[in-house]
Amino acid sequence: MSFLDLVKNRFSARSFTDKIVEKEKIDLILEVARLAPSAVNLQPWKFFVVSDKLMLSKLAETYSREWFKTAPLCIVACGNHSESWKRFDGKDHCDIDVAIAVEHIVLAAEELGLGACWVCNFDVKKCSEFLNLSEFLEPIAMIPIGYTNAIVKEKKRKAVDEIVEYI
């Protein structure tokens, strides 16, 4: 599959089967995340792979959507603001770096025949407590992953001429 086809096929999966994701696929997804670029190559991230049913149910308490509970696996992508690069004006690139790695994760999942979804609207404080995170780690995104039974809907995207200006 071409990269363009991969990107076109990727969608936010919000329904999963109970089939367990193979360790080899998880390992490949994590390798792709590890190889993601980051500002000044500082790699200010840590990924928590959650497949334990009790911990998954705790994570579900941080995001009250029924579909989330159907995922057999969730990767919590965290950023370490004490390790991230800060631009001369103080802008912290931690969230940007983690976002790049998360996009690598969801594209890798798609390539492997898995569904995934970015989840950013969750209770960060509760998530931190459940994962017993240090004060330096912030949960930035949760990515439920699994074999999906969702029906893909057509993506609505702006036309190129609406988002691009040549100067």
Q: Where are the domains of the chain?
A: 3-150
Nearest to 123 by CA among 64, 67, 72, 68: 64
Coil, strand or helix at 28: helix
Confidence of residue 72 (pLDDT cuts 50, 70, 90): very high
pLDDT at 82: 95
Top CATH class of 3-150 equals: alpha beta
Query: What pTM value is reported for the model?
Result: 0.94
CA distances from 40 to 18, 30, 36, 60 (A): 40, 20, 12, 34
Q: Tell me: pLDDT of 151 over 90.
A: no
d(CA 17, CA 20): 8
Average pLDDT, integer, range 83-96: 97
Q: Which pLDDT does position 154 carry in this prediction?
A: 77
Supply the mean pLDDT for the chain.
Answer: 95
